[in-house]
Amino acid sequence: MSWKSFPKVELHLHLEGAADPAFVRGLAAEKSIDIRSIFDGNGAYKYNGFREFLAVYEAATLAIKNPEDFKRLTQSVLENLAEHNVVYAETFVSPDFCGGRDLGAWSEYLAAMQEAHVDGVTLKGIVTCIRHFGPDKARETARCAAKTAGDWLVGFGMAGAEDAGTAGDFSYAFDMARDAGLRLTSHAGEWGGAQSIWDTLQDLNVERIGHGVHAINDPKLVDYLAETGIVLEVNPGSNVALGVYPSLAEHPIAKLRDAGVKVTVSTDDPPFFNTTMTSEFEQLASVFGWGVDDFKQLNQTALEAAFCDAATKDLISKRLETV
């Protein structure tokens, strides 16, 4: 089976984090910005551990400075998705990196991103506040999201360092986004443990959890996720690359799925972790013995959990029927 040609749905993809190193180096050279220190001798992103990864991530965004850059980035990401037959994806975008949370500037960036297009790939956006930037900036980010919610911008979420404040600190931002009709997700349970997932569910009332893998350490939480249908946006390659788990064989995605938890598969920040959706499928098939029916089920779970409208889901469903 060629997993590269297998149609795929991806729900957890950071737009800036999907920027190829060569793309970022090219933009930096155009602007005479020196960020050579974030690359290794082979030209790949260089970091040691999660904190340094965050710093390198934010340094890379320094080269992606204006709406035209983000249009070019989005076009590049769409082309990479098409190469691996990802027929639908939701991408996290941060007004923090698009005009400094100024609504007027953010609107220009957003319009530019929507100009990118590749046949056969549908992309939707989820505005993401950065947890370690604090709740005040998260409110500004939520305001940008609420004012520009629509057909393309369908969700609101939170990324960044899980140990920065509490989930409840960000409830105002999430309430604002919810009132604007945006669907909600948040990173939790990647580094913060099972309690961070409980707190996020209780205080932010999200319907999806980004990562969420440490739920496996709390049987009551596993049961709760299975009973309520809360969906986990799982990123196995990312988790292994950052050392959340030492290997895919020790990753809990299969155990969570066997326990009835709704799991999906995504790449997170693919060039940072040397992964693609094709390699994610290949590795899961190799380590856990998953086959066509398993990946069809994963796609269906992801499509049902997607934040897009019913008409878009019907379109994507037809694309998935090509298997």
CATH number (domain holding residue 284): 3.20.20.140
What 3-state DSSP class applies to 89?
Answer: strand
- Please tell me the pTM assigned to this model: 0.96
In a domain? residue 178: yes
Cβ pair 171, 203 in contact under 8 A: yes
- Domain assignment of residue 178, given as a range: 8-19+64-320
In the 8-state DSSP scheme, what is residue 251? Answer: -
150 inside domain: yes
Residue 306 lies in a domain: yes
Does the active-site annotation cover 108?
no
Q: Around 95, how many Cα atoms within 13 Å sit in the side-chain half-sphere?
A: 29
269 belongs to a structural domain: yes
Residue 300 lies in a domain: yes
Span 11-37, average pLDDT: 95
pLDDT of residue 322: 78
Distance between CA atoms of residues 74 and 85, nearest Å: 16
Q: In the structure, what pLDDT confidence band is assigned to residue 323 with cuts at 50, 70 and 90?
A: low
Q: How many CB atoms lie within 10 A of CB 102?
A: 14
Residue 29 domain-assigned? no
Residue 1, pLDDT above cutoff 90: no
Tens-digit pLDDT profile for residues 161-184: 899 999 999 999 999 999 999 999
Percent of the chain with pLDDT over 90: 96
Residue 316 exposed, middle or buried by CB count within 10 Å (0-12, 13-18, 19+): buried
Domain count of the fold of the chain: 1
- pLDDT tens column, 109-155: 999 999 999 999 999 999 999 999 999 999 999 999 999 999 999 99
**10, 140, 190, 280: the active-site residue:** 190
Residue 177 has a pLDDT of: 98
